[in-house]
Amino acid sequence: MQKRTLSALLVIVCFLFVGCDSNAVYDVYKSLPNQWHKDSLASFKIQAPDTTNTYNLYVNVRNTNDYKYSNLFLIVELNYPNGRTIKDTLEYKMAKPNGELLGTGFTDIKENKLWYKGYDSSFKFTEEGDYQVNIQHAMRQSGNVNGIVNLEGITDIGFRIESALN
């Protein structure tokens, strides 16, 4: 009887972990070293999900209190299987006016789920095959033309795809 109860409990726990995030189609993180070099890309290879459905795309960022800016500029490049490329320069708010970092988390690590595609109209993968997403930072010090070479405080960059049907 104990073995059956343990098995049932294990199945319930598995369903809880899987069931809590049923919208996610793809959710992968890349860890960064202590500093994110301006020429370093976080790359994600994605097999196109169902090309008939619509999706919301996100850039996920984990940062620590060492991140000392109120915003984050990213260059996100989406490469289609046929060779077409869409490149966007995006700005995200990372802190309140009082300097308190935005995001979720109770420790010194905050997690931010940032819209990439789908906020105004859902995104559709129009081609079958492998897509590639490249993300790099484009931060600059105020008043300085040259970019910040090594950005501190960002620990992980992620890319997430969610079904827009729910």
CA atoms within 13 A on the CB side of 157: 23
Q: How confident is the model at residue 4 (pLDDT cuts 50, 70, 90)?
A: low
What is the pTM for the complete model shown? Answer: 0.83
Q: Can you give the pLDDT at residue 22?
A: 74
d(CA 8, CA 110): 35
5-9, 119-123, 124-128: range with lowest mean pLDDT:
5-9
Q: Can you give the pLDDT at residue 5?
A: 53
Q: Can you give the pLDDT at residue 27?
A: 97
d(CA 36, CA 153): 8
Those residues with Cβ within 8 angstroms of residue 47's Cβ, 6 or more apart along the chain or in another chain: 129, 130, 131
Q: State mean pLDDT over 30-54.
A: 93
d(CA 101, CA 111): 10
Phi, psi of 41 (to 5 degrees): -105, 140
